[in-house]
Structure formats: structure tokens, C-alpha cells
Chains A and B, each alone.
Chain A
Amino acid sequence: MATLTIDGLQRAYPRDGFALRGVSFDVPDGHLAALIGPSGAGKSSLLRLIAGLDRPDAGDVWLADRNVTRVPAHRRGIGLMFQELALFPHMNVHENVAFGLRMARWRRRARNERVTEMLELVGLGAYASRSVDQLSGGERQRVALARVLAPRPEVLLLDEPLGAIDEERKRWLRSELRDVLRAVGTTALVVSHDLRDAIAIADDVVLMSDGHVLQYGPLSLVSRFPLTAEAASMLGYVTLLQGEVEHSAVRERGVGELGIPPEAGISGLMRVMAHPSTMLAVPDGRHLGSGLSGVVVAIRPDGPVPLLDIVVGTRHLEARWEWDLDAPRIGTVVEIAVRPDTLRFYGSAPVVVPSEPAVESDERVASSNEDAGDDEDAPRRSLFGNA
């Protein structure tokens, strides 16, 4: 187990008209990091460079204090689980899992014990002699996981481990994956295009876009304080307004205006973003909102608290109706209330972040944005925040 440090990795892919441009970040020893980005961001390419399957044009990969950039893939001690799984079609489940152990010259008894242990861990204890082409997608996924874990790699790379799984199964596979990875305790980097995977699994998050890292750090921190508008939208933030800041308010023609806390001390052309989980729809005319109002165009029942699709001027927003009243009809006007401390402002100038709280980098906060939304009296405060 070791800290994985990526230092200025560069590589051009001229045929695809794409390049990795100096990627740097680290995953501390024993941490679980999620590498998030839209498809085409270079996540898989980066993973191949870290794994040693491709050579970088420049930059280094460090495992603890060992520079492994020139070490061939099979001697790096890194495990990689492919998006396509790449199970060996000519071997059964047991043989697949035992492969890495054989390569590491484990003795047979130890090997068999380890394989059994791994298969138990992923819940496939009874499948050892099955042929891999008889397995379901989820079972194959778990065989691949057991296989990559078996030789105890120092660092684990997982490329879209939940990619090919249907939404229903994904939910519990996510937690299962997290449990397994935590049980093993390896430093791991999980690639996903789906933020929810990261939220469910990871301690740290690395945001990538177009061949470079936008931001990385503890998930709790990054998700609350995205450094750029791009990072923010990757984390699910939506734009409320884009306009000039004047007199403690932001205005955009055709959309509306939003009051902001005066202590923020910002001015100029700003883009105001917020996470939907911090936004509530409130009845019109009661002055509970933050200054934005719009027309309900769709109502989606989602448990006891429905979700509303609201058209605010030229924008489409989504907000919960956490109000002990019947949901508004389509076509009625509602106001939107946002907790002012969750508003994020991005200008063309260097990013301004209001009052970043000091969070120790190794302080793990397992909570997610959704958890934050459940914060005891937060909604009420926001409702009246700038009335």
C-alpha cells in the first residue's frame, strides 16, 4: 500500500486529436479516490499511463517514494480492473482469480486459500469452477474485482467498475464495492463518468475535463467548494443567474434577480450556481423565496416530496416541494428559495471563493451533498435568509 502521486503527466494522442496536458494529483495511502469527468475527458487514457500500459511523453508516476514511470506494467504492483473486465475466456472463475497469484509465484495451497478468500469476499464462493462465459454481467464484474484484488496490489485502478450494470443493481453494487475496497484497505483510484459512483464509494475526488485536472481533494471539500464553474457543473451544480452584481443582488434580464449576502463582497459579472439539493420551491406570494420565481412545467413524484421542473425565464431549474401542502399544479408560479451560503459565484476573473472553512485534508467526512441537504434546520434558515 502506498501513496499514488501523479506528477505532470503529458501525452498527446494525435490521431484522436486529444492530449493529456500535465495531469497532477495524488491519492494518499489507503484512500479511495474517484476520478470523475465526462466521457472524452481522458480518464481511461490517464489510467493506462498510470498502469504503465502506455508511456507518457512527460511526467512521472510515483508509488510512495518509488518512481515507477519507467517500470513495465507487470512489475509496478498496480492492479487494474478494465471497464471491459477482460476476463480470460479460456479459464474458469478460479483460474482467473488465481492468475495474478501464479504470476507472483504463490504456493499452491496459499494460492487456493487466497482465491477462496477473494471469491468469498465478492460473494462468489460457489462459482469457482464455473466457466466465465456462463456468468451474468454482475457476476463477471465481481470475478474481475476478485481477480484484481487477489495479488494485493499496492494501488488499485478501477475503470468504470459499475459501467455495464443496470441502474437497479448498481445501487447495491456501489455499496458492496465500497465495503470490499474498505475491507481490503488498498489505495484505489476509481474512474467513473457518474458522480453518484464517486459519492457512494470515494473519500477523495479528482475532477477531469479535456485532458487536465480541474480540481482534486477530499470529496466533502470539493463537492462543497468547486473551484470553477466547470467543476461545479460536473458536481451537479446548476446556473441560477449570470449577470452583474449590484447592491447585494445579481440580475439577469429575462430571468430575474437574486439577493446575495452583502458579506460576500463580490462584484462584477458573475455566474451564480447552486446545487439542486439546496434549492426549494415555495408557494408564490409568501416572500419566502430568494427572489427567483418561475412556472411549474412538470411534477415528478419522488417519494413524499415531489420534484418540480420550473421554467425561470430562459432557464430550466429543478427544485423540491418540501412543503406540507398539495403540490402546485402545472402552470402555477412558484418561488425558489436557496440557502445563501450554498450559492457559488464564478466570474471571468480568477475564482472567488467565499469563506472557505478550514478542513483538514485527512479529515474524512462520509457525508454527501444529500446529507448536507438534510441538515437539521438549514431549510428554514434559507427560507428566510434574505427576505
Chain B
Amino acid sequence: MALFSTPRSARSAGERSTAWRWVLLPLLLLGPFLLWPVGAMLWRGLAPDGYFSFSLVEAVASDRYYWERLGFTVGQAGLSTALAVALGLPAAWVFAQVRFPLRGLLRAIVTVPFVLPTIVVALAFERLLGPAGWLARALDGVGVAMPTVEGTLFAILVAHVFYNVAVVIRVVGGVWANLDPRTLEAAQMLGAGRLRRFTAVTLPLIAPAVLSASALVFVFCFSSFGTVLLLGGGNPDLDTLEVVIYRLATRLVDLPAASVIAMLQISTTVLVLLVYARLQHRIARPVSLQPHRPRRLRDLSWSQRAFVVLVLLVIVGFVVTPMAALVEGALTVGNEGAVRLDNFTRLFQDTGNISFIPPWRALQWSVTFAGGAMLIAAVVGLAAGMAVARGRGLLATLTDGFLMLPLAVPAVTLGFGYLVTFNREPFDLRGSPWLLLAAHALLGYPFVMRSVLGPARALDPTLVQAARMLGASRPRAWLRITLPMISRGVFVGAAFAFAISIGEFGATLLLQRSEFATVPVAIYEALGKPGDANLGAALAMATVLMAVSAAAFLLIERVRYREVGEF
């Protein structure tokens, strides 16, 4: 009947005690690659003379500017999250419950923005919403003036939604698709109309997933950096804390101030994550998840069909058109408006310079790094998820918050931290691909952890006990029973880990050896020079990146066999 109906009392004390063992593996990654470098960096900033200087904190705390920035950062992250949820929920329903042509492809495409370097996204929005963009031309056709989008909060919100709507769709959709339809039918039989069914039954049941997605989106938007720099149009009112830290650290080299604000950012994020983990714990119920086939379009009522079409149109408008604008650019830039493949063929023409990055090599490195990071993230995230799922009470909440730290730490702080800690033999890892891999895995595993947590919490412990009674050792029982049952969660999270790695991260943060140049690096390389050939090549490369990522997501989707995940 119920796939995951867990009598809570069935958890034995013996299991609880294993939680700490699971933390060891994440610690192995977190310790050297997060805690140490970030700690060293912050210490360097906060205690320039070797002892902690409170006056620094005071100086920042008394500056209204930073508090304003904190307020704005929280505000825009909250707004972005609300918008992403508002758009993502209906889309999650459509993807989870309805079968329509190209459904799998569209779902893969919706996730693609995740991998796009910010500069590429900025270019896409310029070609779409800019003064000479598609929308402006369309509006011009009907005699309406295009309002300025650049440098407005609107531009940033749109970009944030573009990036993050996939998180909501996938995370919520995973649970929604597997809600037992009879629960809803039971509500209907008891007289609940469509709206009441949603508010009284569906919403409470998907609430944990919505909360999960919201927390992730919030943390992402909270630490938004590239998007603000590129779409903020230099408007100082749109600077987030992360941008402030970046400016302070990179140009003004005001490491003390940067460190204090980094602390502010980390503590705010951790606070949010802790509140989230607490809430999550309170509202999570063992929900009976029942995989079932989504309905066909023709089984829906007319109003439902209209709704599906509307939602898909909005999603396509939001997510697909910016990407289409990139493809259009790749096909037309430098061709006097004609559609030609010149920019793609150019990718393969060796300029004879060291800046030439063969596209196959770039792709190869991108996929290698992303694949490696995904593997590590999957293993570490699995352990992290087990640790939190097996833990209890406040300690579990704290562990949860602690293990989400990688998403809270400002990129600049981490990058500088690596520089100052991994600079002595035999641990001189600067410029080493291993460091890159570790950093990518660090950012990827929280996704795996979140998506493993749901199934791991809902797992019926009697199954493992049964296996042990049948003679399986503890590790064997885990391998044979627990792992297969939570593997779907691992796959969902791994897809995101892959996406994060293949995206821009690392291209600017860490030293990039030219022999390991990835696709985003190649894109940045091309955009660093003037001329149509370079812009065209960058857009062509971005198109290739989108295609490869979409294919990878389709593949990952094939591998996982059911879509259950909490996130």
C-alpha cells in the first residue's frame, strides 16, 4: 500500500548511534576544503595582527550602508524565491502530472540555465530584453516603447527565476508526481473542490518539498553575484552582500571588512537554513508515495488543458526564449543577419594561439570535471543525507545546517582561502585540477544530501532489520536494501551537482590551467576580445554547452527509475 509509511516508533536506538559515522565522510571533504581555508581566510581578515579585533566588527556594524545591503539582499532573495515558487509550482504540477509531447526534453531544457555562465545569461537577456532585443522589436511593431530593463530589480528577479525555477520544478515535482492520487480522490469524495483539494491536501503534503526548494533558491539568490554584476547595470542599489564582499576583497583589498561581511553573510545564511531545517522537521510527515503514471492530455478537462498550455507557454517564454536568443545569436552574429553555421565551424579553426581551445577538448574537460565532481558529490551527499536522516532532534538540525555550509560561504572568501592555505608543499594544490574537483563537489553535494534526505527519512527501518535477520551484515544490508531505495534521491541531486560543476563556477574563482580549459573558460576566453568572430564563437560555444547539458540531463533522467526526492 504505502511505499514509505514509517511508523516512527519503529526506529530503534541502535540505528541512531550510527549517525555520527556518516558525518565522517562529509567531514573529510568539508574539513580540508571548506573549514580550513575559510577559517584561515576569515582569521586573516578578522585578526590581522594575530588576535581578534572587535573594532573591525564594530566599524562594519555601525555603517548603515552594510545593513542596507543586508536588507536588500534578504529582500531580493525573498522576492526571487517567491517568484520562482509561484512560477515553479504550476510547472511542477504540469511536469509531474501530465504527459505531453517532448515532456522529457522540455524538462531537461528547463534545467539547462543552471549550467550557463552568468555572462552568457546576461548576453541572452540583452538579446531578448535589451533595447535592440526581440521584445523591443516586437513592441516596436505595435508601437509601444520598450521600458528599460537593465539595471532594475526586475532584470535581476527575472534572471534569478530563469536560473532557479528548475529547482522548484524538479524538487517539488519529484514529490508531487508520487503523491498517492487516492488521497486527493478521497478529499474529492468528501466534497472538496479543486481549490480545496489543493489547499487542504496537496499543499500540506508537498510543503516540505516546497520548503526545501525555497531554501535552496533563497540561498542561491542570497549569494547572487554574477547576475547582479552583469544585469544590475552598475546600479549600486542592487548590490548584494556577495558583490560588496567581492568589491572589498578584489580591488580595495580590504580583507578585514570583507571578512566581517563574509561572516555576516555566512551567519545570515546559516540562520535561514537552520530555521528551514527546523520547519522542515516539523512539517515533514511520512507520506505514502505511490509512483503512478501521469495523465494524458486528453484525459484532462478543457480548463485543465488550457492551464497546462498556459503554464507551458510561460515556462517556454521564461526559460526557453532566452536560450533561443543565444542560439539565434550563434547562428547570425557576423553573418550580416543571415543564418549560417560559420560560428560553429570557427570553433574548430585553430588560430595558432595558445588561447585556442579545441571545443572537443573543452567539452571533454567539462564533462570530466563535472562527472568527477558529480561522483564525489553523490558519495559525500549520500553520507551527509544519511547522517542527517539518522540523527535526531536539535543535533540533527544543527548537523543539517552545518552540512549546508558550502552554499553559505561567499565564493571570494573560499577562493582566497584556497590561495592562502594550499600554498605549501606538499599540499600546494593551487592550479591543481583536484582542488577544482573538490570545490565543485563541495558545492554539489548539498543538493544530493537534500534529495537523499527525503527517502532516507521515510525508509521503513523494518526492511533493514528484515535483511539483517536474513543474515546480511550491516554494510551489506545497507548496500542491498537502503541504497537501492534511496538511490533515486541520489540521482536527482547528482544531476544538479553535475550542472553546477559544468557551469561557470571555478572559471573565475580558482586558477585555471590552460590545458584543463573547460567550456565556460573557452567562452570567457572568446568574450575577452572584441570582434564578431569572438562573440560569435562564444555564443556558438554556449549553444554547444546547452546542447550537451540538455543531453546529459536527459541521460541522467533515464538512469534514475523513479522520481522521488525531497531536496
Q: Which B residues touch A100, using CB under 8 A?
A: 190-191
Residue of A nearest to B189 (CB): A80
Q: How far is the CA of A62 from the CA of B1 in the complex (A)?
A: 32
Q: Which A residues touch B200, using CB under 8 A?
A: 99, 102
Confirm or deny: A259 has a beta carbon within 8 angstroms of a beta carbon on chain B: no
CB-defined interface of B179-193 with A at 8 Å, one 1/0 digit per residue?
010110111111111
The one of A73, A78, A89 that contacts B183, using a Cβ cutoff of 8 Å: A89
Q: How far is the CA of A80 from the CA of B285 in the complex (A)?
A: 24
Confirm or deny: B8 has a beta carbon within 8 angstroms of a beta carbon on chain A: yes
Please tell me if the beta carbons of A89 and B287 are within 8 angstroms of each other in the complex. Answer: yes
Please tell me if the beta carbons of B189 and A90 are within 8 angstroms of each other in the complex. Answer: no
Please tell me if the beta carbons of B188 and A133 are within 8 angstroms of each other in the complex. Answer: no
Residue of B nearest to A90 (CB): B204
Q: What are 7 A-B contacts with C-beta separation under 8 Å? A: A53-B188, A74-B191, A82-B186, A84-B1, A89-B205, A89-B286, A90-B285
Confirm or deny: B554 has a beta carbon within 8 angstroms of a beta carbon on chain A: no
**A73-96 CB contacts (< 8 Å) to partner B:** 73-75, 78-80, 82, 84-90
Q: Which B residues touch A134, using CB under 8 A?
A: 7-9
Confirm or deny: B16 has a beta carbon within 8 angstroms of a beta carbon on chain A: no
Q: How far is the CA of A80 from the CA of B188 in the complex (A)?
A: 10
Query: 4 other contacts beyond A51-B185, A78-B189, with CB at 8 A cut-off?
Result: A75-B191, A80-B186, A84-B182, A133-B8
Known: A73-B188, A86-B183. A133 touches B5 (CB 8 A): yes
Residue of A nearest to B1 (CB): A84
Residues of A with Cβ closer than 8 Å to B?
51, 53, 72-75, 78-80, 82, 84-90, 99-100, 102-104, 133-134, 147-148, 151, 164
**B357-411 CB contacts (< 8 Å) to partner A:** none
**B1-40 CB contacts (< 8 Å) to partner A:** 1-2, 5-9
Known: A89-B205, A103-B196, A133-B6. A84 touches B180 (CB 8 A): yes
Please tell me if the beta carbons of A73 and B185 are within 8 angstroms of each other in the complex. Answer: yes
Q: How far is the CA of A84 from the CA of B426 in the complex (A)?
A: 62
Known: A103-B196, A133-B286. A151 touches B204 (CB 8 A): no
Please tell me if the beta carbons of B185 and A53 are within 8 angstroms of each other in the complex. Answer: yes
Residues of B with Cβ closer than 8 Å to A?
1-2, 5-9, 180, 182-183, 185-193, 196, 200-201, 204-205, 283, 285-288
Residue of B nearest to A153 (CB): B189
Q: How far is the CA of A72 from the CA of B301 in the complex (A)?
A: 12
The one of B180, B196, B285 that contacts A86, using a Cβ cutoff of 8 Å: B180
Q: Which B residues touch A75, using CB under 8 A?
A: 191
Please tell me if the beta carbons of A103 and B190 are within 8 angstroms of each other in the complex. Answer: yes
Please tell me if the beta carbons of A164 and B1 are within 8 angstroms of each other in the complex. Answer: yes
Residue of B nearest to A157 (CB): B189
Q: Which A residues touch B9, using CB under 8 A?
A: 134
Q: How far is the CA of A60 from the CA of B2 in the complex (A)?
A: 33
- B33 shortest CB reach to chain A, Å: 39
Q: How far is the CA of A84 from the CA of B292 in the complex (A)?
A: 15
Known: A133-B5, A133-B286. A88 touches B191 (CB 8 A): no
The one of B185, B186, B191, B201 that contacts A104, using a Cβ cutoff of 8 Å: B191
Q: How far is the CA of A133 from the CA of B182 in the complex (A)?
A: 17
- A70 shortest CB reach to chain B, Å: 12
The one of A84, A89, A133, A151 that contacts B191, using a Cβ cutoff of 8 Å: A151
Q: How far is the CA of A169 from the CA of B488 in the complex (A)?
A: 38
Q: How far is the CA of A89 from the CA of B196 in the complex (A)?
A: 16
Please tell me if the beta carbons of B189 and A74 are within 8 angstroms of each other in the complex. Answer: yes
Q: How far is the CA of A151 from the CA of B190 in the complex (A)?
A: 8
Known: A89-B287, A133-B6. A74 touches B204 (CB 8 A): no
The one of A87, A89, A148, A164 that contacts B189, using a Cβ cutoff of 8 Å: A148
Nearest 5 CB-CB pairs, A to B?
Answer: A100-B190, A103-B191, A86-B186, A86-B182, A80-B189
Please tell me if the beta carbons of A88 and B8 are within 8 angstroms of each other in the complex. Answer: no
Q: How far is the CA of A74 from the CA of B187 in the complex (A)?
A: 8
- A184 shortest CB reach to chain B, Å: 16
Q: Which B residues touch A84, using CB under 8 A?
A: 1-2, 180, 182
Residue of A nearest to B5 (CB): A133
Please tell me if the beta carbons of B1 and A133 are within 8 angstroms of each other in the complex. Answer: no
The one of B185, B201, B204 that contacts A82, using a Cβ cutoff of 8 Å: B185
Q: Which B residues touch A80, using CB under 8 A?
A: 185-186, 189
Residue of A nearest to B205 (CB): A90
Q: Which B residues touch A164, using CB under 8 A?
A: 1
Q: How far is the CA of A74 from the CA of B189 in the complex (A)?
A: 5
Please tell me if the beta carbons of B189 and A73 are within 8 angstroms of each other in the complex. Answer: yes
Q: How far is the CA of A147 from the CA of B190 in the complex (A)?
A: 8
Please tell me if the beta carbons of A74 and B193 are within 8 angstroms of each other in the complex. Answer: yes
Q: How far is the CA of A102 from the CA of B188 in the complex (A)?
A: 12
Q: How far is the CA of A327 from the CA of B185 in the complex (A)?
A: 54
Residue of A nearest to B286 (CB): A133
Q: How far is the CA of A86 from the CA of B285 in the complex (A)?
A: 15
Q: Which B residues touch A85, using CB under 8 A?
A: 1
Q: How far is the CA of A89 from the CA of B191 in the complex (A)?
A: 18
Please tell me if the beta carbons of B182 and A82 are within 8 angstroms of each other in the complex. Answer: yes
Q: Which A residues touch B1, using CB under 8 A?
A: 84-85, 164
The one of B192, B205, B287 that contacts A74, using a Cβ cutoff of 8 Å: B192
Residue of A nearest to B201 (CB): A88
Please tell me if the beta carbons of A51 and B182 are within 8 angstroms of each other in the complex. Answer: no
Q: How far is the CA of A79 from the CA of B185 in the complex (A)?
A: 11
Interface centre among B5, B7, B183, B205 (most CB of A within 10 A): B183
- B189 shortest CB reach to chain A, Å: 4
The one of B182, B185, B190 that contacts A99, using a Cβ cutoff of 8 Å: B190
Q: Which A residues touch B182, using CB under 8 A?
A: 82, 84, 86
Q: How far is the CA of A79 from the CA of B188 in the complex (A)?
A: 10
Interface centre among A79, A84, A104 (most CB of B within 10 A): A84
Please tell me if the beta carbons of B285 and A89 are within 8 angstroms of each other in the complex. Answer: yes
Q: Which B residues touch A148, using CB under 8 A?
A: 189-190
Q: Which A residues touch B8, using CB under 8 A?
A: 133-134
Q: Which B residues touch A103, using CB under 8 A?
A: 187, 190-192, 196
Q: Which B residues touch A78, using CB under 8 A?
A: 189
Q: How far is the CA of A88 from the CA of B183 in the complex (A)?
A: 6
